[in-house]
Amino acid sequence: MATFTNQATLSYNNNVKNSNVATGELLAVLTATKTAVMDDYVANDDVTFIISIVNSGPTAYTGLKITDDLGAYPFGLGKIYPLAYQTGSIRYYLNGTLQAVAPTVVAGPPLEISGVSVPAGGNALIVFEANVTKFAPLAVADRIDTEAVITGGGLSDPLSAKATITTEDVPNLTISKTVSPTTVTENGELTYTFILLNSGNTAAVAADHVVLTDTFDPILDPIAVRFNGTLWADPANYDYDNTTGEFATVDGQITVPAATFTQDPANGNWIVNPGVSTLTITGTV
């Protein structure tokens, strides 16, 4: 609801008279909301957004345009965008029915969706997916604030609908394995090195139940196991069967520090510096 005022002026014989101020209220019949299907994200994630427009009036609205800022925030002399429209992902529903013809989309950024209609006494849903870009902040409690602005179609004032997504604060682990030397003689010594990388913003701790398993072929006996340079013992830290070559760390013994994040001062993209832990197993073939 918006209040408006109006005043008339009467001029005659070099006289000017003002009327009283008439006051009225303009009832808005369109309302809009924006939500994210999942309200958290990680690097390179996909996020689904829903823009809902409800028309409580007796007349349909046509020719509406939605401009979505895709989470833009200032950087340097301009803006950078932590989200990017996923081409072809738009879905358009009128009163719950998927429409065969979608509105016109310009990916931008910002994203522009034009040709949106909302039936009288009905609603429109615009659903689209956005990809998390290299400009998205990823540290603990970071967030992306997004806003969609609806204009045109006879609206007296733009409509705004906002949605916020926050980082999913979890570890994100990967593992790689190397062997040295790559050629070994019988009764020689091998070293397997496992590099554990955490690109998540939260450390992997005992409560995350990280377990590494492997089966050595050829069987190694005896073995020496070190985690981040510290000698481990069997069975306190790991279990090894020297008749089958089956190896497993004890649940929760492996931990990996969280990644750190730095923003490139030149172009604004976020650089992930993974947390690292190393497990080495040396044994005789």
* pLDDT by position in tens, the chain (length 285): 445 567 777 787 788 877 767 654 444 689 999 999 999 999 999 999 999 999 999 999 999 999 999 999 999 999 999 999 999 999 999 999 999 999 999 999 999 999 999 999 999 999 999 999 999 999 999 999 999 999 999 898 999 999 999 999 999 999 999 999 999 888 899 999 999 999 999 999 999 999 999 999 999 999 999 999 999 999 999 999 999 999 999 999 999 999 999 999 999 999 999 999 999 999 999
DSSP 96-164: TEEPSSPPEEE--SSEEEEEEEE-TT-EEEEEEEEEE-TTS--STT-EEEEEEEEEETT-SS-EEEEEE
Say whether both 183 and 271 belong to one domain.
Answer: yes
Answer whether residue 20 is part of any domain.
no
Say whether both 270 and 234 belong to one domain.
Answer: yes
Residue after which a domain boundary falls, among 139, 167, 195 = 167
Distance from the Cα of residue 45 to its chain's centroid: 5
CB 148 within 8 A of CB 34: yes
Answer whether residue 8 is part of any domain.
no
Query: Per the structure block, which two tokens stand in for 4?
Result: 């408006």
Give the model's pLDDT for residue 26. Answer: 44
Say whether both 101 and 191 belong to one domain.
Answer: no
CATH number at residue 116: 2.60.40.740
Domain that holds residue 268: 173-284
Question: Is the overall model pTM greater than 0.75, yes or no?
Answer: yes
Give the model's pLDDT for residue 24. Answer: 40
Residue after which a domain boundary falls, among 137, 167, 197 = 167
Residue after which a domain boundary falls, among 103, 133, 167 = 167
Distance, in Å, from the CA atom of 277 to the CA atom of 209, rounded to the nearest integer, reads 15
Say whether both 64 and 95 belong to one domain.
Answer: yes
Query: What pairing do the DSSP bridges indicate for beta strands 143-152 and 61-68?
Result: antiparallel
| Number of domains forming the structure of the chain | 2
What DSSP character marks residue 34?
Answer: E
Answer whether residue 4 is part of any domain.
no
Query: What pairing do the DSSP bridges indicate for beta strands 104-106 and 111-118?
Result: antiparallel
Say whether both 38 and 146 belong to one domain.
Answer: yes
Phi, psi of 251 (to 5 degrees): -50, 125
Say whether both 31 and 147 belong to one domain.
Answer: yes
Say whether both 45 and 65 belong to one domain.
Answer: yes
Answer whether residue 5 is part of any domain.
no
